[in-house]
Structure formats: C-alpha cells, structure tokens
Amino acid sequence: MDYDEEYEGTKKKDGKPITFKKWSAVAVWRYSINQDTCIICRQNLQEPCLECQHQGTSESGGDNCHIAWGVCNHAFHFHCLSRWLKTRPACPICNKDWNYV
C-alpha cells in the first residue's frame, strides 16, 4: 500500500490534511530463532553467558558474548559451545556434526 493511498483523506479537526514534517523511527531487533535459551548454560541468548557474567563483561552490555549459529539452525553462546565442542563435536540439541553458519 502506498503511503499517499493509506493517508489520503486524513484530516485534522480543522479540515486541513495532516502532513508529516519530520519522522524519527526507532527500531528494536532480536534474533529470529525458535529457542530463546542457551541449552548449555540455561541463560537467555539475549543476555551474556555465565562466563561473561563471571568475568564482569556483562556491565559493558555483553558485547564480547556472541551467539554461535549452526547449519542445523540451533544457536548457543559462543563460549558455552566452545567448551562443549572440546568434548564432543556435535550439536547439543540434535546431535548432528557441528558446523558454523
């Protein structure tokens, strides 16, 4: 739908059409995944992992705590997955060989 079509005919109380002088949009993003927790540490994926919380990097917003994605479309905290892969080179959820996206 075109912007002009959607707002055509929209009038203020005095009968004049509404016009936008300035528009400041704000966006919030999230990862679009089916899971919301790291199955390894049981923490929310949007929050720092336990290792980052322990090291005190969570005060900086957890910038160093990245999410690792696999070709199986499962996601984990990178630090948690790194420790997991040292003992077993498979996805903790589906048990397929782990490969990063």
pLDDT tens by residue, 15-65: 677 777 888 888 765 555 567 889 999 999 888 988 888 877 544 444 578
Q: Tell me, what's the pLDDT at 77?
A: 93
Residue 26 lies in a domain: yes
Query: pLDDT tens digit string along 89-99?
Result: 999 999 999 99
Domain that holds residue 76: 3-87
Specify if 96 maps to a domain: no
Q: What letter represents residue 64's amino acid? A: N
**Lowest mean per-residue pLDDT among 10-14, 41-45, 60-64, 72-76:** 60-64
- The torsion defined by the Cα of 86, 92, 94 and 98, in degrees rounded to 10, comes to -30
Residue 95 covered by a domain: no
Domain count, the chain: 1
Confidence band for 1, pLDDT divided at 50, 70 and 90: very low
What predicted TM-score, i.e. pTM, was given to this entire model? Answer: 0.59
